[in-house]
């Protein structure tokens, strides 16, 4: 069962596509974060979803929101994926222990071995303010992100 809105987001630390360790709590009290769990790099639906996010980065940048993709792929796979598609946001490898962060967030599909398509918008206090999950095989739309972003409190300088 996926974590519910208005609950504390579990902290985690995972390597990004460059091998740098990214910790969710590093953003606490600094900026909100959008966690985008996706099944597998290079799959057609995941690629089109992340390309849509890439093409709409201003939605996140305008609100100073850190966009973070997470999958069970290795950091090497994620680096090749990011380079091929021009993703300029962090892609985190929930590779080992396999899917541990997706499991904490309640979105790991045990029978498939990867995370469902799930997004969590986390405020600067570390609270999940909006989330949405699509059925397996169904892409998330940019309209879903626009609605979720509206749930976050405005960021003040």
Instruction: Write out the catalytic residue numbers.
Output: 46
Three-state SS string over the chain comes to: CCCCCCCECCCCEEEECCCCEEEHHHHCCCCCEEEEECCCCCCHHHHHHHHHHHHCHHHHHCCCCEEEEEECCCHHHHHHHHHHHCCCCEEEECCCCCCHHHHHCCCEECCCCEECCEEEEECCCCEEEEEEECCCCCCCCHHHHHHHHCCCCCCCC
């Amino acid at each position: 069962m996926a974590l519910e809105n208005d609950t504390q987001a579990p902290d985690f630390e995972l390597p990004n596509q460059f091998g740098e360790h990214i910790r969710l709590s590093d953003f606490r009290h600094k900026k909100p974060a959008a966690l985008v769990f996706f099944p597998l790099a290079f799959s057609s639906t995941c690629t089109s979803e992340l390309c849509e996010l890439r093409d709409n980065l201003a939605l996140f940048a305008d609100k100073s929101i850190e966009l973070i993709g997470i999958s069970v792929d290795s950091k090497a796979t994620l680096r090749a994926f990011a380079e091929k598609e021009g993703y300029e946001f962090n892609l985190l490898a929930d590779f080992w222990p396999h899917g541990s962060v997706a499991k904490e967030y309640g979105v790991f599909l045990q029978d498939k071995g990867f995370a469902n398509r799930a997004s969590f918008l986390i405020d600067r206090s570390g609270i999940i303010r909006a989330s949405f999950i699509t059925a397996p095989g169904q892409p998330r739309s940019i309209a879903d992100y626009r609605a979720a972003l509206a749930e976050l409190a405005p960021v003040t300088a």
